[in-house]
Amino acid sequence: MGTTKATRAADKSQVCRKFVTALHKLYGKSVPRIELPVIETVLFAACLEDNQWALADAGLKKLITSFFDLNEIRVSSVNELELVLAPLNKADWKGLRIRSILRSIFESTYSYDFEKLRRQTLEQAVKTLKKMPDITPFIRDFVLHEVLGSHIVCLDESMLTAAKWLGLLPEAADLNEGSEYLKGGLKKSEVSEFCHLLRCLATDPKFIPRFVDHADTEQTMADVMDRWAELQLPPKKKPNKPPAPKEVSRSEKVDAGKKSSAAIPAKPVAPVKPVVPSKAATLSGKSKPSSKPAASAAKTVAKPTAKPKASGEPKSASAVPSKSRLVRAAEKKTAIPAAKKSASSSKQSTAKTVKKK
C-alpha cells in the first residue's frame, strides 16, 4: 500500500474520480433525484440518514399515506411513528426527529408551509435550520444541497465509517470535518453522484460488517484503491479467541461447596470393642466396673421435676406426715435449746475456774 499522503486538491480529485468509476460497476451511473416541497424534503432527509435511497423513499410515502395529514403526524406518539417507519434503520429516532421538526415548523409559522427557505441565503438558511431541535448535520446539509443547490458534501454516520475504512477521510474526522475535507476534491456537479455511490456502498449488507473492523494503521488517500481491491476479496477468517474464564460469584461457590460435601460419602466408624477384664482381676474378684460411663450416664439422665399442685387439690395420703414423724420433729426442737444451755453452762464454769487461777 502507498505511504505518501495525498492531501492536495488535485490528488483528492483524482482519487475520487477513480473511486467513482470503480463504484459504477457495482451500482450503476444513474443518480436519483427528488422534487418535493421543502418540508417533505426535510422529512425525506430524516428517513434517508443511514439508509438506502429506495427504502427512504418508500418510508416517506408510507408515512404520508398512513396519516390524514402532517398535523396528525405532529400530534402522534413516537411509538406510532416507529411502527410506520419500522423497515428503516433506527426507526424510533427517525420518528422522534420527524415529530420534532413538524412541531418546530408549526410553532414558528402556524402552518406547514416552509417554502420561504428557498428565498433565503446560505447563511440565513443555516440559522433557520439550526433553530430546529433534534436536527442532525446530515439533514441540514442534505436540505441545503437539494433546496439551495449549495456545494456541500452530505455525510451520515454510515458513510463516514466507510470513508474512514477506505482512507478517504482521516480517522479523527467528524461529520463536519469530513464534509469540508472531501469538498476540496469534488466539483459542485460531482457531489450528488459521489454521495449517492458512497451511500450505496456504506449501506450494502455485504460490506457493512467489513467497515466495522478498522486497519491497524491509519489509511490515506493513496490507499483508497488498494483498500477497494481488498474489499472485493472474501473476508479473512479471524483466529478463534479462547473463551474468557467465567467469573464465579460467591453464592455459586457456596453452592458448589455444599454439593461437593454432599457427594463425599461419610467414613464408616469402627465398632467399639467391649472391655474384657483380665484373668487376674477375675480370679481375685477385684474387678470393678469403670465409673466414667456411669457418671456420664448420670449426667445425661435428667432428674424428674415435681409439678406444683394446685392449692385446691386434696393432698394424698403419702404427702400427710404421720404422728411418729411429728413427734420426732418436736423432740429435735426441744433437744436443740437444751444442748445450747448445757454448752453455755460449761463455758461459764470454765470461765470461773480461769478467774480463780
Mean pLDDT of 173-177: 94
Is residue 117's pLDDT more than 70?
yes
Strands (E), the chain: none
Q: Grade residue 212 by pLDDT with cuts at 50, 70 and 90.
A: confident
Return the percentage of the chain with pLDDT > 90, whole number: 54
- Residue in the structure block whose three cell numbers are 474520480: 17
Distance CA 221, CA 228 (A): 12
- Domains of the chain and CATH, by start: 9-232 (1.10.340.30)
222 compared with 84, residue with greater pLDDT: 84
Residue type, 46: A
Distance CA 195, CA 228 (A): 17
Is 88:60 a contact under the CB 8 Å cutoff?
no
Residue type, 308: P
Maximum average pLDDT range among 134-148, 230-244, 303-317:
134-148
Mean pLDDT of 78-101: 94
| Long-range contacts of 125-131, Cβ-Cβ distance < 8 Å, separation of 24 or more | 131/104
Is residue 11's pLDDT more than 60?
yes
329 compared with 272, residue with greater pLDDT: 329
- pLDDT, the chain, mean: 78
Please tell me whether residue 230 adopts helix, strand or coil conformation: helix
Is residue 116's pLDDT more than 50?
yes
27 compared with 324, residue with greater pLDDT: 27
Alpha-carbon dihedral angle through residues 127, 129, 33, 78, given to the nearest 10 degrees:
170
Mean pLDDT of 285-299: 45
Mean pLDDT of 195-201: 96
Distance CA 354, CA 26 (A): 145
Mean pLDDT of 189-206: 95
Angle between helix axes 38-48 and 137-147 (nearest 10 degrees) is 140
Q: Grade residue 270 by pLDDT with cuts at 50, 70 and 90.
A: low
Mean pLDDT of 61-69: 94
Contacts of 64 (CB under 8 A, 6+ apart): 40
Contacts of 292 (CB under 8 A, 6+ apart): none
Is residue 240's pLDDT more than 60?
no
The pLDDT value recorded for residue 8 is 72
The pLDDT value recorded for residue 3 is 38
Contacts of 34 (CB under 8 A, 6+ apart): 41, 44, 146
321 compared with 110, residue with greater pLDDT: 110
Q: Grade residue 234 by pLDDT with cuts at 50, 70 and 90.
A: confident
